[in-house]
Amino acid sequence: MNEPKLTPPQTGIWKKYLNDARPFLALALLLAVCMLSNESFRSVQNLLNITRQVACTGIAALGMTLVIIAGGIDLSVGSLLALSGVSALMVMGRIADPRLAVAAAMLVSLGAGIAGGVLNGLLVTAGKVPPFIATLGTLSIFRSLALYLANAGTLSSSNEFFRETGSCTPLGIPLATICFLVLAAGFAVLLNRTAFGRHVCAVGANPRAARYAAIGVGKVQFMTYVLAGLSAGIAAFLFSSRLNAISSTDAGLSYELDAIAGAVIGGTAMNGGRGSIAGTVAGVFILGIISNALDMWGTSANLQGLVKGLIIIVAVLIQRQNND
């Protein structure tokens, strides 16, 4: 009779920890390489710029991580961002008092995001439409609504308070970055320390077993879509406040792909059941640093997509190798 081969426990544990820490090691290595090779990259202002540049896609990626861990996918994040932003700016344009207008814009943006998330969630859970198809449909619907409301143009606001809010830097750190990190911390606590978080992982890993364990699979999935919609709404507010305008055609275009890439590089499995918020943050930063570094090195903007694609593929290949 063949006895199973026992791997010495030490190697097994090391491998697992290396596995989990991989995105952070990659991030550290990347930072080191970029800093050594390019002087413009090193400045503090540039590093702060990078954090600001990744904040909006990062927030979208946080919501996406939850959805993917629960076994679904949300392709409509970018379009929902555009729709929320357009609605917010439209409302803001109607209100005279600057502070009230900004507060209203924030509420509308979050509300629109949540509404979009609710729609996605209902389609997937109650309608039993496969997530890919449902969110593919809502991707078109949201984008079309945004284009219709803004007449395919760019909505700009003359509200100076809005722009100041967007470009303010409490303690020298851009507001968008702070929001991103706070939201990441919140989602991490949600995922790792609450029952809901455990349920999300369970539903993604094995929905049938989760149902037998009396976990409301539909409710859990529904909530992940709502949270993804909320993230899109927050990102929309920050995005439009930075530019004091939002382009209905360009805003959020391909954000869903960047969000998925960030989540995947960070170690979230596309099949669901496994993933971490910290990993997604690392993944999002890796993509942002690469984009910035390529720009500093003077590479053609057209080749950046090539590098991004290679990183995504390599990241997943390495993960699969170690999980077999």
Interacting residues with another protein (CB under 8 A): 13-14, 17-18, 20-21, 24-25, 27-28, 31-32, 35-36, 39-40, 42-47, 49, 52-53, 153-154, 156, 163, 167, 239, 242-245, 247, 250-251, 253, 278, 292, 295-296, 298, 301-302
For another protein, give the closer residue by CB, 203 or 278: 278
For another protein, give the closer residue by CB, 97 or 295: 295
For another protein, give the closer residue by CB, 52 or 143: 52
CB of 39 to another protein, least distance (A): 5
- Asked if 283 contacts 264 with a C-beta cutoff of 8 angstroms, the reply is yes
CB of 103 to another protein, least distance (A): 21
CB of 313 to another protein, least distance (A): 23
CB of 269 to another protein, least distance (A): 18
Question: Token digits for 103?
Answer: 């507060």
CB of 144 to another protein, least distance (A): 17
For another protein, give the closer residue by CB, 87 or 244: 244
For another protein, give the closer residue by CB, 23 or 116: 23
DSSP secondary structure letters along 167-228: H--GGGS-HHHHHHHHHHHHHHHHHHHSHHHHHHHHHHH-HHHHHHTT--HHHHHHHHHHHH
For another protein, give the closer residue by CB, 138 or 244: 244
CB contact set of 245 (below 8 Å; sequence gap of 6+):
89, 154, 155, 156, 157
CB of 153 to another protein, least distance (A): 6
Question: Token digits for 315?
Answer: 């990241």
- Asked if 176 contacts 55 with a C-beta cutoff of 8 angstroms, the reply is yes
CB contact set of 33 (below 8 Å; sequence gap of 6+):
none
42 forms beta bridges with none
CB of 264 to another protein, least distance (A): 19
Q: Give the CA distances from residue 56 to residues 62, 295, 314, in Å, rounded to whole numbers and listed in that order.
A: 10, 19, 24
Residue of 323, 210, 309 whose CA lies nearest to 261: 309
Question: Token digits for 84?
Answer: 């929320």
For another protein, give the closer residue by CB, 91 or 245: 245
150 forms beta bridges with none
